[in-house]
Structure 1
Amino acid sequence: MGRAIFIIGAGTALIGIIIYAFIDCIRTSASQARSLPKPAWLAIILLFPIVGALLWLFLGRPRAGSSATWGSPNTPSQTFKAPDDDEEYLRFLDAKAKRQRASQENHRPAQQNPQEREKPRQNPTDENPTDTTDTEIPES
């Protein structure tokens, strides 16, 4: 009885490893597969289930923490920067604050000095006495 449980458990574990390797291979991008092209890995996992799955897990799978492919130089992984740690974003915020201050400074003198406010507009005919748009032109 104990021997049957061991055989069933081992078989279930092997099937789980094969299914995991196959799904992991499908979900991995083609540029991240190591040693062989991705379609070759899928064929190996299907044709040689136990050996192919183990080979994928040890030789074909992308390395943990690395997005580089086999044979290419390791590129530094891009880590997330908080907005207050990003120099470019801080310069952008500084420039934006300066623009807002300048805009407020341009509007502030007119609001503080009542004599400098715009005078109410006069009647358009009073501003330009030569304007003849509202007058009738005699016909000749």
Structure 2
Amino acid sequence: MLRYLPFILILALTIYAFIDCLNTPEDEVKHLPKVVWVIIILLFSIVGPIVWLATGKRRHVPAGGSTPSHGHRTHRTQWVAPDDNPEFLQSLKGENEKDEALLEDWEADLRRREEELKRRENGGNDDTPPQSS
């Protein structure tokens, strides 16, 4: 099993570099067109992925670091955790209100059906008004 480990690592590196190249926007690819990078990654199994990861795309400066002097954008869109995103929280409130209204309708329908069943069991001669909760 250990003798297959180098092949598995090379395959994993190639797959990672291939997917990374495909997901990289065209304006962040350096030195060669994206299609050429894909071909290099696939044809040169060890060297291609390593060269792509080392020089193939612009790397972003970590938050708090210095900005590049070439005028390129310094960071991608910052993702916000769902519990900090006001739009997401608002959408949850809307869904919650819809769910509560649906639940109330179902409960009212269930109460109505229970009352009908009680009336049928009593022979339909029950003069007591239905109870509401």
Q: TM-score range by the shorter chain?
A: 0.3 to 0.5
TM-score, reference length from structure 2: 0.46
